[in-house]
Structure 1
Amino acid sequence: MKLANLSAHGRDGASFSVSGLYSRGVQWCALVVLSMLVASIRGDLFSKATRTKADERDLRNSVFDFIIIGGGTAGCLLANRLSAISDWKVLVLEAGVDENIDFDIPGVPSKEYRPILWNYRTERNGYSCLSRPGGSCEVRTGKVLGGSSVTNDMKYTRGSKVDYDGWHSTGALSSLDWKFDSVLEHFKSIEDNGDYDVLMNSHYHSRGGEMHVQRFKHVDRFMEIFTAGFTEMGLRTMDINTNVQEAVVHNQFAISNNTRLSTNGAFLKPVRHRKNLQVITGAYVTRIVVDKQEKNVEGVIYEVEKGKERPAYAKREIILAAGAINNVRLLHLSGIGPKADLKKYNITPIVDLPVGMNYQDQVTIGGLAFVLNEVPIVTEADIISDFKTWFQNRNGPLASTGINQISAFIQLYENFNAPDVELALIGNFIRSDKFMLTNVSVHAAEETNMPLPYYNLVNINPVLLRPKSRGKVMVNKRNPKYGRPVIQANLLKESEDLDTLVDSIDIALQLLDTKEFKKSDIKFAPLDLFPCDRLTNRDQWNCVARHYTKAMSNPVGTCKMGENSTDSVVDFQLRVHGVEGLRIVDASVMPTHARGGIFAPTMMIAEKGAKMIIKDWKENNGHYYSRR
């Protein structure tokens, strides 16, 4: 008897009730066969003759209806929605730790705390990151319950209508469900918007969802000066989430009571008490077990301690939500990926799919900064007092991200009714006497020395919202199981990406000519731009972009959704082509970026994906249909 034939979705024609559990006889068969599977992986299990009741209990406890790999931005939302059906037993496997209060303070950047990050680097190339350490760029994504929603800037930007509409493939009816007018309902169903002026546009916004978003109330004078400067340049203050092309934006953030609200806090923590939901942290999944003949998933192998493997079996589906980089590692190790590449790594190919191709990350550069004058001196006592204020009543400067709250979205070209670049403002504190003594390096100008609300330098990061350059992610050849995936990002490989960034710099520099900046005596920072310091004008900024590139750590596309298995990994129902019982539900399925951060779109994908899963298993009588 094959393990695949015991699934509740009738792979052998048997009919099981979706709302009910297996009968005792079938359940016992499932456990026996599971023990055979595990024994083939772990030789230390007891034989049937010597198996104790404890062994049987362990086996029974390792059987779930759904296994979610990755308790990140998408995984936490999925766990909430699927475990809401009490008949379904759900397991979440997260490689990181649980969230704690240290990550809750908005003014403290958690993206600098390496223990809760996957600290990856891109491969060296001749296009970008040339003056970064090792000639490569860092790619940091969250390794914690809540994933990158714990480590990101909390900014809530959905992206543009034209990009979602572009995911539609002519002739593929199911792709119509991904056009903007269709996905808007999923954005709204999870949103609890706290700004009444934004809520007035009820077509785009709503209340009542788990994810509370609103602006920070703490505003300083430099935020007002920069906003006025952009307004003087002709930008209007608008809600970027209403498909406007250009705007200066006082952004909304994922916060509740001036506290970071991750998807763990919004969706998972409130339901952790559910008896049908199990969450295991520190769980490193090493393989998805796929039946080579039937091409269906049977379970996963994971480790809580390195080298000590544990099994878990999925009766219905395994849902992969580990992100655009880690998804590739796990799929490749499981025999799902480009056939030629897998053979190079001595991995037996099971399904030939372009897993890892189409890698995209938004990109920005350092070196564009402005010096502020007459900044009040901030003492250690002031900072301690502000921390006390935040802990006591969630107020004060630390209940904000300072100048980081302001962005300008710019449309450079007339091709689409959508912005091409976000000019993101990032505050930093540099000892003012350094500017009188010597030039400050780009790296020093970017280093976070103080909490975000304290700054005397403003970096403007022009973020390329829709990059044209494409890269590739591959499993580590020397150490496939534990080694860092190889990221050939190819940032700025396409000349159009470089031109767009440099064009946006010309616009940002126009701030120096505004009355607001002259009145406030805000000047261009004399940073050391070596080796670009001897160049001038556009040549200099081309050089700076190549040398001081920064990956935004918003990777997408490696498990792209599409109509066929030639150029995509999942179909428009997020089911992996040619594999039954396996879905991918996170940012890796996005064909392209949506001209904003990936936080809000990832939540939307998880919400839509959960509804697809529930529909398949409850409304379609428990049958899972997968393309072969």
Structure 2
Amino acid sequence: MKFAVFRRLLSKLLLLLTLTSVKADLFTKATRTKADERDLRQSVFDFIIVGGGTAGCVLANRLSAVSDWKVLLVETGDDENIDYNIPGVPTNEYRPILWNYRTERNGYSCLSRPSGSCEVKTGKVLGGSSVTNDMKYTRGSKVDYDGWHNTGTLASLEWKFENLIDDFKYSEDNGDYDILMNSLYHSRGGEMHVKKFKYTDRYIEVFNGAFSEMGLRTLDINTNIPEAVVNNQFAMINNTRLSTNSAFLKPVRHRKNLTILKGATVTKIVINKQENTVDGILYEIEKGKERPAYVKREIILTTGAINNVRLLHLSGIGPKIELKKYNITTIKDLPVGMNYQDQVTTGGLAFVMNDVAPVTEEKITNDFKTWFQSRSGPLASRGINQVSAFLQLYENINAPDVELALDGNYIRSDKYLLTNLTVHSAEEFNLPLPYYNLVNIHPILLRPKSKGRVLLNKRNPKYGRPVIQANLLKETEDLDTLVDSIDIALQLLDTKEMKKAEVKFAPLDLFPCDRLSNRDQWNCIARHYTRAMSRPIGTCRMGDNSTESVVDFQLRVHGIEGLRIIDASVMPSHVRGGIFAPTLMIAEKGAKMILKDWKENKGHFYNR
């Protein structure tokens, strides 16, 4: 046994004999009978991964590949259902597999949303948000990652884009040969298959043509270009959604050294206060009944930018001034929960198609049968969502500022309803995505300047929803960028393609902005009908000191030995795309760091 591992295991055995309090006495009770001793041995792991989401499934695969490492993966949710894997089904509406959070009310955004707040929905299921997201595979731009580098901090060089390309490519299996021609950015052979959908319809061609008419070229957005109309690639195989659970976890579940615990919520990280090392976790399957699991090497948090905050705060890691409010003893004073960022968009911009044939129940039923039988037909697509336009509004950086994302919806097309159509009803999915007679255009602010924070629930810190003070659109620059992009989107209506197809502006009820006009009206609409993109990052940001960051550039929590965070919460700032592909990259890079620390460095864990 390696010396560092032996030392840490020995300290735990001493703890078994000395801890006496209810909270600290996690180990002594397990020594009282031979049966309990057997259970204890089964509950000691080399690595405990908290969260079976996008990153957690990748890490479980990579770490359990070392046969003499015992790995535990703990996930609150359950397995994904086959229904979630149908591309045409909007899984972000399935509340049982979601963490349904809301932002706090403020005077900047979400003013006409229910309760004056915006929804933030992330995956609560094995595979996490890779089961509930839009499936798009977008990486962001070179300047985004280069911005994570701190001049003078050697360790941060690892996060410059040129040093991340291989981590992106490591798990990629790209199925489009026109994309693969650029081998600098793409590869074959990994677990994550990405590909364009073959299914197309008339309006996909119309919108593609309209964007082209406006001067946008059809290009691969993942090759560091500032503008393009994009036929998106998606995480899928055989026209089926491919989550990280399906790609990374299911193929290795047979490994004897991998334990997957579903339906369990981790409530605390147990930390040795004398040595500032992790000893294990407390988790609950039944509310109020805590059970322990112990670790020899590392605990890895992968529960995302919101749930990581709650767990760390409950464990005594966070801003001292905040933890004191809840009578939580501060073990390590770190800015956990600060620097919250989410990409943002707005409702209220929608186009209507007047010649779409009625969608019957019989047609939908037959299309579902077609998908289940041959993985083809309309449901083997994301409808108009397959098209995006990335826009560079300003010339200061050679990268896009906004993505115009398209979502289709089917609305009953009688005249009475269309003249009383609310923004909410225009956005609320009535049918699967490929059936639509209305297209919502969502201008997504890719690099928001506004930042917020996440705090514990005041009334119920342990079980209550965390408080998300998102501050969306607090910075006027964010609002200006959104409205500038809306001006460009409206130019679509002037193109020959749209006029020929008789696509028109949808008659939405825009109260209380209906009496305003031009830019004033769109400013009002953006503030009232704000939408959070549910791509939260930054609350456990990486950096070179414990004043401004939570983890170092090796993703180790400052001052706590044996604790890492490996997911989107470590991102200091957003990238110009979704967070699915970047999270995959972070997981791959984090796995390599762990392997290097424990294999190449002879089992020594350095945390300065």
TM range (shorter): over 0.9
Q: 1:562 — aligned with what?
A: 543
Question: Does structure 2 conserve the Cα–Cα contact (< 8 Å) formed by 1:434 and 1:440?
Answer: no
Instruction: Give the counterpart of 1:497 among 473, 478, 483.
Output: 478
Q: Structure 1 CA distance, aligned partners of 2:69 and 2:299?
A: 13
Instruction: Give the superposition deviation at 1:46.
Output: 7.7
Q: 2:125 — aligned with what?
A: 144
Question: Does structure 2 conserve the Cα–Cα contact (< 8 Å) formed by 1:408 and 1:424?
Answer: yes
May I ask how many residue pairs the two structures share in their alignment?
Answer: 608
Instruction: Give the superposition deviation at 1:345.
Output: 1.3
Instruction: Give the counterpart of 1:338 among 275, 295, 319.
Output: 319
Question: Does structure 2 conserve the Cα–Cα contact (< 8 Å) formed by 1:73 and 1:147?
Answer: yes
Instruction: Give the superposition deviation at 1:53.
Output: 1.9
| Alignment pair present for 1:598 and 2:579 | yes
Instruction: Give the superposition deviation at 1:259.
Output: 0.3
Question: Does structure 1 conserve the Cα–Cα contact (< 8 Å) formed by 2:231 and 2:386?
Answer: yes
Question: Does structure 2 conserve the Cα–Cα contact (< 8 Å) formed by 1:324 and 1:587?
Answer: yes
Q: 1:371 — aligned with what?
A: 352
Matches within 5 A, 1:50-199: 51-199=32-180
Given the superposition, is the C-alpha separation of residues 517 and 154 from structure 1 closer, same or farther in structure 2, using an over 3 Å criterion? same
3-state DSSP of counterpart to 1:286: strand
Q: 2:23 — aligned with what?
A: 41
Question: Does structure 1 conserve the Cα–Cα contact (< 8 Å) formed by 2:418 and 2:507?
Answer: no
Given the superposition, is the C-alpha separation of residues 436 and 609 from structure 1 closer, same or farther in structure 2, using an over 3 Å criterion? closer
Q: Structure 1 CA distance, aligned partners of 2:160 and 2:26?
A: 51
Matches within 5 A, 1:161-310: 161-310=142-291
Q: CA RMSD in A?
A: 1.7
The aligned amino acid for 1:211 is: M
Question: Does structure 2 conserve the Cα–Cα contact (< 8 Å) formed by 1:67 and 1:314?
Answer: yes
Q: Structure 1 CA distance, aligned partners of 2:416 and 2:3?
A: 67
3-state DSSP of counterpart to 1:432: coil
Q: What are the superposed Cα offsets for residues 383-420 of structure 1, whole Å, 9 maximum, x if unpaired?
A: 00000000001000000010000000000001111000
Given the superposition, is the C-alpha separation of residues 227 and 34 from structure 1 closer, same or farther in structure 2, using an over 3 Å criterion? farther
Instruction: Give the superposition deviation at 1:31.
Output: 5.3
Q: Structure 1 CA distance, aligned partners of 2:21 and 2:42?
A: 16
Instruction: Give the superposition deviation at 1:33.
Output: 3.6
Q: 1:318 — aligned with what?
A: 299
Q: 1:10 — aligned with what?
A: 4
Q: What are the superposed Cα offsets for residues 348-371 of structure 1, whole Å, 9 maximum, x if unpaired?
A: 101000000000000000000000
Question: Does structure 1 conserve the Cα–Cα contact (< 8 Å) formed by 2:15 and 2:27?
Answer: no
Q: Structure 2 CA distance, aligned partners of 1:192 and 1:83?
A: 21
Given the superposition, is the C-alpha separation of residues 423 and 46 from structure 1 closer, same or farther in structure 2, using an over 3 Å criterion? closer
Q: What are the superposed Cα offsets for residues 479-508 of structure 1, whole Å, 9 maximum, x if unpaired?
A: 111010000000000000000000000000
Q: 1:4 — aligned with what?
A: none
Q: Structure 1 CA distance, aligned partners of 2:207 and 2:544?
A: 45
Given the superposition, is the C-alpha separation of residues 34 and 239 from structure 1 closer, same or farther in structure 2, using an over 3 Å criterion? farther
3-state DSSP of counterpart to 1:540: helix
Q: Structure 2 CA distance, aligned partners of 1:328 and 1:44?
A: 23
Q: Structure 1 CA distance, aligned partners of 2:18 and 2:86?
A: 49
Given the superposition, is the C-alpha separation of residues 411 and 34 from structure 1 closer, same or farther in structure 2, using an over 3 Å criterion? farther
Q: Structure 2 CA distance, aligned partners of 1:129 and 1:36?
A: 53
Instruction: Give the counterpart of 1:426 among 381, 396, 407.
Output: 407
The aligned amino acid for 2:592 is: K
Instruction: Give the superposition deviation at 1:161.
Output: 0.3
Q: What are the superposed Cα offsets for residues 574-626 of structure 1, whole Å, 9 maximum, x if unpaired?
A: 00001100000000000001110000000000000000000000000100011
Instruction: Give the superposition deviation at 1:435.
Output: 5.3
| Alignment pair present for 1:576 and 2:560 | no
Given the superposition, is the C-alpha separation of residues 182 and 45 from structure 1 closer, same or farther in structure 2, using an over 3 Å criterion? closer
- Identity over aligned pairs, percent: 76
Question: Does structure 2 conserve the Cα–Cα contact (< 8 Å) formed by 1:8 and 1:315?
Answer: no
* Stretches of 4+ aligned residues off by more than 4 angstroms: 29-32, 34-39, 42-49, 434-437
Q: 2:397 — aligned with what?
A: 416
Question: Does structure 2 conserve the Cα–Cα contact (< 8 Å) formed by 1:34 and 1:313?
Answer: no
Q: Structure 2 CA distance, aligned partners of 1:37 and 1:82?
A: 31
Question: Does structure 2 conserve the Cα–Cα contact (< 8 Å) formed by 1:31 and 1:60?
Answer: no
> Structure 1: where are the runs of 5+ without partners?
1-6, 17-21
Q: Structure 1 CA distance, aligned partners of 2:166 and 2:590?
A: 13
TM-score (ref. length: structure 2): 0.98
> Structure 2: where are the runs of 5+ without partners?
none
